[in-house]
C-alpha cells in the first residue's frame, strides 16, 4: 500500500483528521447533554464513518433520537450543526429516529448503502447500536431484492464519470474502478452476495483488491493536500506533486499506479456483480424453469447461464488456442468470461507454439474485429496475466500515460480503442486482417525512447513472425507501423491536391496501393481513438481524397482474376457425377474440400450450404467450372469436433442436388437454435455495438460480357451460401468466384453474367446482396 513515511501523510493524516473531528464532536455533544442514556446519539457515515477522512473532506453526521425529548431536538441539532458551518466545514447532516432511518434506507438504495458505514461517535451508545444493527439487518434482508437497482445505479454513475483505468484525468472516487466501487463490493459481501474488501471485517487478510483500494485512497489523500481543496479528479498539473508526496516517481509512474489499481477494482466489480446476480437465484415462476443449457460457441467453449465457460472435455494444458477461442467467443457473443475459467486458464493454459497456426491467428483477428466488445475480454485477460502471454511486449505500454493532453487514454487502452474503431472499417479495405493488427500495434514502440514509429517498426517484425504471418504480409505490417503518422502529417502541412505531393506520398509507400489504403483507414481509427473532435469531416475529406489520388496515380486498384484449376481437380471434373474429395490444409485443423457436381443454377449455394450445415467454416474458396461441371474448392475448419468426412459430405450433396434435402432451410433453423443470449450478467457499461457495414462494389472487368461484383462483409455462419442463393434468385449466373475470410471479415469476388447489364439491374442485385448481409443499398 502506498504510504509516505513521515507525519501527516497517508494513514497518519487520515487518522489525525478523524481523531480531531471525533474529539470535537464528542466534546460539543457532551456540552449539549448528548451523553449515555440521554436518548440522543451522534453517528458518522461517509469518510468519517470509515475513518478515511482526507483534507477538506465533508462531515457526514446523523443526530439519532429516540422520540422522548422532541422539545430539545432543535436546540441539540442547531448546537451541533452551526459551529461546524461557522468553521467553514462542509456538512451533510440529518436528524433521524431509528424508524425514520429505516424508512429512508428502504426508499433510497444510496442512503441504505451509506448507512452501512455508520459508526458511533458520541452520546447514547445503545441507541447508536440499535440504528447500526437495524440498518445492517435490513440490508441483509433486502439486498437480494434490491440488487438490480444497485447495479443500475452503478452503471449510471459510470456513464457520468467514465473509467479510472487508462484515463488521463480520472475521478478516483466515482469513476469506474474507484473507491465507491470497492465500498459497493463491501456492501454486497456484507449481504453474503459476493466477496468484498473486508472493511466491515477488519480481520480479513491482505488481497489485491485491498491493496488497490489503499493505493487509490493514498492518492486521494495527497490530491486534497496538493489541490488545497476537496477534489476527486486527478489533474495533470497536480500529478507530479502528488507522485512526489507519495515517493512514487513522476506523474507517469503515478498514472500507472492509479490505472493498475482501477483495473484490479474494475475486474473485481465485474466478477462481483456476476457472482451476486447468480447468488440471488431465481424467483417466482422462473424457479420452475429448467437449468440453463450449455450452448456451444466454439471448440471447447460453451455458454452457460450467461457466461463463457469451458466445455467439459476442454483441457487447457493440451490446447494452446483455447485462451484465444474463449476471448473471441466472449467478444463475439457479448458474454462475460467466467471468473473461475479465467483462473483455470491462467494456471494451466499452455503457450501457443511459434509460429502460430492459421487457426490461432484467425481467433485473434476475430477478437480484434469485434469492435468495442473486444475491450472487456482483453482487460480480463490482462488482469489475469493471460494477455501478456499472447503479447509479451504489452507490459511496456500497459498503463503508460500519454505525453500529449489531446489523448484521452493511456497507451494500452488507446491501442485497444484504435483496434475497436478499426473493426468498423474492415469492409473498407482489401486487407482487413492487416488493418486490425496494425491498429493494435501502431504505438507499440512508445515508452522505449526514440521515435515510437521507428521503434515500433522494429518490434512489429518479430511479432508478425511469431504470429505466423507470410513474409509479404509481415513487411506490409512493418511499413504500416512505420508510416502510421504519414497521412495526418501530410494533410496538415502540404497541399494534398498538388501532383508533387501525391507523387511524393506514392513514393513513401513504395508504390503499394494496398498500403496507402490501409494507412488511410488506420489514420481514421487512430484519430477516433485519440479523443473527441480529433477526427472530423475536414480531416476525413483531406485524408480520403489523398488516398484516392495516390491510388489513381499508381494505376487504380488491381482487378481480381480466377485461380487456375489444378490437374487433379480437372481429372475429378472429367470423371463426371457428384464427387467430394478432402485433403489436409496448411493448418492442423484446416481441410481442403473439393466438390464436383453437374453445373447448374444454385450449385454454389448448395455446396456452400452443405459445408455450413456440417459445421464447417469456409476460410477461402475458389469457384470454377470445367467439362460441364461445377468445380468448387473450399478451405474449411470445423467449428467443433474433427475434420469433415468426405463420404458424409457427398451423401448430403447428393441429397441436396436431388432436392430431398433443403440445405438452406435446415441451416436457417440451426442458426436460430444456436443463437446465444447476449450480455447476461455483464457489469460493464453498455456500449453501442459498432459493426462494419457490408459493402458491394462493381469492379472493372476485363471481359465486356461479364461483370465483377465484390462483397466485403462481416463473416457469419452460412454467409456464402446465403449470398450465392440470393444471386441465383436475381437470375445472376456465377462464372467463377474467389472467397477469402480474413479474421471476421469476408472479402468475396464473383464474376457474374447479369440478365442485362444495366444500372438498374446492378443496383437491384447489389441491394439484394446487401440485404442478405444485413445492410442497405
Lookup result for grid cell 504480409: 473
Grid cell digits, residue 320: 494452446
Q: Is the pLDDT of residue 759 over 80?
A: yes
Grid cell digits, residue 16: 489525525
Q: Are 456 and 441 in contact (CB under 8 A)?
A: yes
Q: Are 633 and 622 in contact (CB under 8 A)?
A: yes
pLDDT at position 675 is 56
- The conformational region for residue 386 under phi > 0 = left, psi -120 to 50 = alpha, else beta, is alpha
**What is the C-alpha to C-alpha distance for residues 551 and 563, in angstroms, rounded to an integer?**
25
pLDDT at position 248 is 85
Tens of pLDDT along 679-719?
434 444 444 456 789 999 998 887 888 999 999 998 888 89
Average pLDDT over residues 496-512: 94
Within 13 Å and on the Cβ side, how many CA atoms surround 740? Answer: 14
pLDDT at position 281 is 62
pLDDT at position 2 is 43
Tens of pLDDT along 305-329?
888 999 988 999 999 999 999 999 9
Q: Is the pLDDT of residue 198 over 70?
A: no
Q: Is the pLDDT of residue 191 over 80?
A: yes
Taking CA atoms, 277 is separated from 147, 186, 344, in Å, by 8, 15, 22
Lookup result for grid cell 475459467: 341
Q: Are 616 and 593 in contact (CB under 8 A)?
A: yes
Quick one: pLDDT band at residue 287, thresholds 50, 70, 90?
A: very low
Spell out a b/e string for 347-361, using b for 16 or more CB atoms within 10 Å of the CB, else e: eebeebeeebbbbbb
pLDDT at position 682 is 44
Q: Is the pLDDT of residue 38 over 50?
A: yes
Name the least confident of 13-27, 581-595, 674-688.
674-688
Strand partners, 595: 580, 632
Neighbours of 639 (CB within 10 A): 16
**What is the C-alpha to C-alpha distance for residues 178 and 160, in angstroms, rounded to an integer?**
13
pLDDT over 90 percentage in the chain: 57
Helix (H, G, I), strand (E, B) or coil at 579: strand
Lookup result for grid cell 472516487: 173
pLDDT at position 677 is 47
**What is the C-alpha to C-alpha distance for residues 242 and 24, in angstroms, rounded to an integer?**
29
Helices 251-280 and 125-161: crossing angle in degrees, nearest 10, is 110
- Tell me the pLDDT of the chain averaged across its residues: 88
Helix (H, G, I), strand (E, B) or coil at 630: strand
Q: What angle do CA 164, 167, 170 make, to 5 degrees?
A: 50
pLDDT at position 292 is 58
pLDDT at position 578 is 92
Helix (H, G, I), strand (E, B) or coil at 529: helix
| Residue 203, φ and ψ in degrees, nearest 5 | -80, 0
**What is the C-alpha to C-alpha distance for residues 336 and 379, in angstroms, rounded to an integer?**
11
**What is the C-alpha to C-alpha distance for residues 606 and 660, in angstroms, rounded to an integer?**
12
pLDDT at position 137 is 93
Q: Is the pLDDT of residue 488 over 90?
A: yes
pLDDT at position 253 is 85
Name the least confident of 55-59, 457-461, 513-517.
55-59
Tens of pLDDT along 533-558?
899 999 999 999 999 999 999 988 87
Closest CA to 213 of 260, 158, 252, 152: 260
Name the least confident of 208-212, 707-711, 747-751.
208-212
Tens of pLDDT along 153-178?
999 999 898 888 877 788 999 999 99
pLDDT at position 777 is 46
Quick one: DSSP state of residue 446?
T
Helix (H, G, I), strand (E, B) or coil at 171: strand
**What is the C-alpha to C-alpha distance for residues 238 and 712, in angstroms, rounded to an integer?**
49
Quick one: pLDDT band at residue 669, thresholds 50, 70, 90?
A: confident
Enumerate domains of the chain plus CATH numbers: 10-144 (3.30.460), 572-777 (3.30.70.260)
pLDDT at position 5 is 37
Is the CA virtual torsion 590, 375, 436, 723 positive or negative?
Answer: positive
Quick one: pLDDT band at residue 181, thresholds 50, 70, 90?
A: very high
> CB under 8 Å to 11, separation ≥6 — which residues?
3
pLDDT at position 7 is 52
Grid cell digits, residue 524: 481514421
Q: Are 608 and 639 in contact (CB under 8 A)?
A: no
Helix (H, G, I), strand (E, B) or coil at 137: helix
Amino acid at each position: 500500500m502506498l504510504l509516505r513515511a513521515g507525519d501527516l501523510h497517508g494513514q497518519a493524516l487520515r487518522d489525525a483528521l478523524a481523531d480531531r473531528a471525533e474529539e470535537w464532536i464528542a466534546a460539543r455533544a457532551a456540552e449539549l447533554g448528548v451523553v449515555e442514556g440521554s436518548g440522543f446519539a451522534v453517528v458518522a457515515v461517509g469518510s468519517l464513518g470509515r475513518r478515511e477522512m482526507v483534507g477538506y473532506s465533508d462531515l457526514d453526521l446523523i443526530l439519532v433520537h429516540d422520540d422522548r425529548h422532541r422539545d430539545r431536538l432543535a436546540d441539540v441539532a442547531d448546537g451541533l450543526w452551526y459551529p461546524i458551518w461557522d468553521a467553514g466545514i462542509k456538512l451533510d447532516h440529518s436528524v433521524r429516529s431509528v424508524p425514520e432511518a429505516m424508512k429512508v434506507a428502504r426508499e433510497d438504495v444510496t442512503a441504505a448503502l451509506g448507512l452501512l458505514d455508520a459508526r458511533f461517535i458520541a452520546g447514547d451508545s445503545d441507541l447508536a447500536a440499535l440504528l447500526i444493527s437495524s440498518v445492517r439487518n435490513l440490508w441483509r434482508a433486502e439486498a437480494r431484492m434490491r440488487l438490480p437497482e444497485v447495479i443500475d445505479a452503478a452503471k449510471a454513475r459510470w456513464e457520468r464519470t467514465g473509467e479510472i483505468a487508462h484515463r488521463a484525468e480520472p475521478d478516483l472516487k466515482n469513476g469506474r474502478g474507484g473507491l465507491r466501487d470497492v465500498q459497493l463490493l463491501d456492501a454486497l459481501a456484507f449481504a453474503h452476495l459476493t466477496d468484498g474488501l473486508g472493511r466491515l471485517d477488519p480481520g480479513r487478510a491482505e488481497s489485491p483488491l485491498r491493496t488497490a483500494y489503499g493505493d487509490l485512497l493514498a492518492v486521494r489523500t495527497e490530491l486534497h493536500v496538493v489541490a488545497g481543496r476537496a477534489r476527486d479528479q486527478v489533474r495533470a498539473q497536480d500529478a507530479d506533486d502528488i507522485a512526489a508526496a507519495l515517493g512514487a516517481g513522476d506523474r507517469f509512474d503515478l498514472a500507472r499506479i492509479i490505472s493498475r489499481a482501477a483495473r484490479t477494482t474494475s475486474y473485481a466489480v465485474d466478477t462481483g456483480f456476476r457472482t451476486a446476480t447468480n447468488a440471488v437465484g431465481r424467483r417466482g415462476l422462473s424457479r420452475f424453469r429448467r437449468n440453463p443449457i450449455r450452448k456451444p460457441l466454439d471448440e471447447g467453449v460453451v455458454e452457460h447461464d450467461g457466461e463463457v465457460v469451458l466445455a467439459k472435455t476442454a483441457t487447457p494444458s493440451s490446447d494452446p488456442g483455447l485462451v484465444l477461442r474463449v476471448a473471441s467467443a466472449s467478444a463475439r457473443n457479448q458474454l462475460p468470461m467466467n471468473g473461475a475459467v479465467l483462473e483455470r486458464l491462467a494456471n494451466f493454459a499452455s503457450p501457443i507454439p511459434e509460429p502460430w497456426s492459421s487457426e490461432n491467428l484467425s481467433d485473434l483477428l476475430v477478437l480484434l474485429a469485434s469492435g468495442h466488445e473486444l475491450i472487456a475480454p482483453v482487460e480480463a485477460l490482462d488482469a489475469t496475466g493471460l494477455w501478456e502471454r499472447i503479447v509479451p511486449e504489452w507490459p511496456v505500454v500497459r498503463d503508460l500515460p500519454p505525453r500529449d493532453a489531446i489523448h484521452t487514454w493511456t497507451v494500452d487502452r488507446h491501442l485497444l480503442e484504435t483496434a475497436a474503431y478499426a473493426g468498423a472499417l474492415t469492409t473498407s479495405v482489401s486487407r482487413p486482417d492487416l488493418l486490425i493488427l496494425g491498429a493494435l500495434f501502431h504505438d507499440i514502440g512508445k515508452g522505449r525512447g526514440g521515435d515510437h514509429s521507428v521503434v515500433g517498426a522494429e518490434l512489429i517484425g518479430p511479432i508478425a513472425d511469431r504470429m505466423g504471418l507470410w513474409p509479404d504480409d509481415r513487411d506490409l505490417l512493418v511499413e504500416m507501423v512505420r508510416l502510421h503518422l504519414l497521412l495526418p502529417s501530410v494533410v496538415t502541412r502540404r497541399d494534398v491536391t498538388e501532383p508533387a505531393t501525391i507523387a511524393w506520398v506514392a513514393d513513401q509507400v513504395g508504390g503499394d496501393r494496398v498500403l496507402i489504403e490501409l494507412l488511410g483507414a488506420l489514420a481514421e481509427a487512430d484519430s477516433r481513438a485519440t479523443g473527441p473532435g480529433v477526427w472530423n469531416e475536414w480531416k476525413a475529406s483531406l485524408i480520403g481524397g489523398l488516398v484516392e489520388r495516390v491510388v489513381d496515380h499508381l494505376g487504380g486498384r488491381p482487378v481480381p482474376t480466377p485461380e487456375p484449376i489444378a490437374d487433379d481437380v480437372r481429372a475429378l471434373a472429367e470423371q463426371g457425377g457428384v464427387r467430394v474429395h478432402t485433403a489436409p490444409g496448411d493448418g492442423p485443423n484446416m481441410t481442403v474440400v473439393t466438390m464436383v457436381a453437374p453445373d447448374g443454377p444454385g450449385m454454389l449455394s448448395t455446396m456452400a450450404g452443405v459445408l455450413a450445415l456440417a459445421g464447417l467454416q469456409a476460410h477461402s474458396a475458389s469457384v470454377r467450372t470445367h467439362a460441364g461441371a461445377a468445380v468448387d474448392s473450399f478451405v474449411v475448419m470445423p467449428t467443433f469436433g474433427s475434420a469433415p468426412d468426405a463420404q458424409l459430405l457427398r451423401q448430403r450433396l447428393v441429397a441436396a442436388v436431388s432436392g430431398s434435402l433443403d440445405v438452406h432451410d435446415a441451416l436457417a433453423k440451426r442458426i436460430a437454435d444456436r443463437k446465444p443470449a447476449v450480455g447476461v450478467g455483464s457489469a460493464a457499461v453498455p456500449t453501442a455495438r459498432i459493426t462494419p457495414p457490408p459493402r458491394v462494389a462493381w469492379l472493372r472487368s476485363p471481359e465486356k460480357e461479364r461483370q465483377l461484383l465484390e462483397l466485403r462483409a462481416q463473416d457469419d455462419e452460412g454467409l456464402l451460401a446465403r449470398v450465392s442463393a440470393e444471386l441465383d434468385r436475381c437470375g445472376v449466373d456465377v462464372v467463377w468466384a474467389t472467397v477469402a475470410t480474413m479474421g471476421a471479415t469476408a472479402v468475396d469476388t464473383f464474376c457474374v453474367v447479369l440478365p442485362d447489364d444495366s444500372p438498374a439491374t446492378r443496383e437491384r442485385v447489389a441491394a439484394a446482396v446487401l440485404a442478405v448481409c444485413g445492410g442497405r443499398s
